[in-house]
Amino acid sequence: MTSVQGTAVDIPTEDGLADAYLTHPGDGLPRPGVLLYQDAFGLRPHLRSMADRLAAAGYTVLVPNVFYRHGRTPVFDLPEFIDPGTRPEIWQQISPVMQALTPELAMRDAGAYLRWLADSPLVADGPVAVTGYCMGARLTLRTAGAYPERVAAAAGFHGGQLATDAPDSPHLAAGHITAELYFGHADNDPSLPAEQRERLEEALTAAGVRHHCEVYPDAPHGFTQADTASYQKEGDERHWAALLDLLERTF
């Protein structure tokens, strides 16, 4: 396993400084860049370990605190093991912060994250990959559509609300996407019912986007997050295989 070096960085945005975690192989050579979008629980030790695993596979990985407008990490006071079923008040903290991150603000920030990666001597020249989890899967899809010249591959896992009937639904970006996409959907996920999965598939197919979407059987929403009650080992291992395969094909 390649040794990695992780550090905290600050990214200038149009609205302030976003704190972030940057990790890369220890040799310091430029590697393909990966922008990793958090789930709703935010930048925390588990996401840093996920980023480190990607870095060990040969990538320079940036994990921004997308909630930076509400404070530096940790934005929320979370237990080491997150089980919203026993602590439903967690969502009372998180939901307003999530809703405040409008698509417009999120994509303005995405431009700052992508510029930072482009300017970093630790990132190889050329486009990057984006991956995201839960709400981060929505941000991934939007980023691939908003910055097609910068995003060569994009993956999302247990994403919710990817293809709603709202006028700003993430799937409506399909016509602008040039990246190859992969989505691993949670089987038992009320935030992405079958009709949304079908709508996403139809939109990507109609736009000619190279993509592969699949449903992970018996997987709950949040199945990749080992510090939560939603974790499913089988789905998590399958997600790692799919993500690394996409990155290897792209870079």
Confirm whether 176 is a catalytic residue: no
Query: Cis (ω within 30 of 0) for the bond into 220?
Result: no
Of 24, 211, 221, 239, the active-site residue reads: 221
CA distance 59 to 219: 27
**Lookup: tokens for 179:** 């990246």
- Contact of 189 with 215, CB cutoff 8 Å: no
Q: Which range marks the domain in which residue 191 is found?
A: 4-250
Catalytic annotation on 221?
A: yes
Distance CA 155, CA 92 (A): 28
- In total, how many domains does the chain have? 1
Average pLDDT per 10 consecutive residues for the chain, totaling 251 residues: 93 98 97 98 97 98 98 93 87 95 98 98 98 98 98 98 97 98 96 97 98 97 96 98 98 97
β-pairing verdict for 180-188 and 151-157 = parallel
Whole-number Å distance between alpha carbons of 159 and 49: 20
Identify the residue whose tokens are 């929320």.
76
Domain of 224, CATH number, reads: 3.40.50.1820
pLDDT at 67: 98
Give the pLDDT of residue 12.
98
Characterize the bridge pairing of strands 4-13 and 16-25.
antiparallel
pLDDT score recorded for residue 188: 86
The whole-angstrom separation of Cα 159 and Cα 180 is 17
Contact 162, 193 (CB under 8 A): no
Which pLDDT score is estimated for 85? 82
User: Which entry of 39, 46, 134, 211 is annotated as an active-site residue?
Assistant: 134
- Is 213 marked active-site? no
φ/ψ of 118, rounded to 5, equals -65, -30
* Residues 106, 244: Cα–Cα separation, whole Å: 25
70 secondary structure, DSSP code: G
pLDDT in the model for residue 89: 86
Residues 39, 109, 189, 227: which is the catalytic one?
189
In the three-class reduction of DSSP (H, G, I as helix; E, B as strand; rest coil), residue 168 is classed as coil
What pLDDT is recorded for position 233?
Answer: 97
Residue 236 CB: number of other CB atoms within 10 A?
18
Q: Report helix, strand or coil for 10.
A: strand
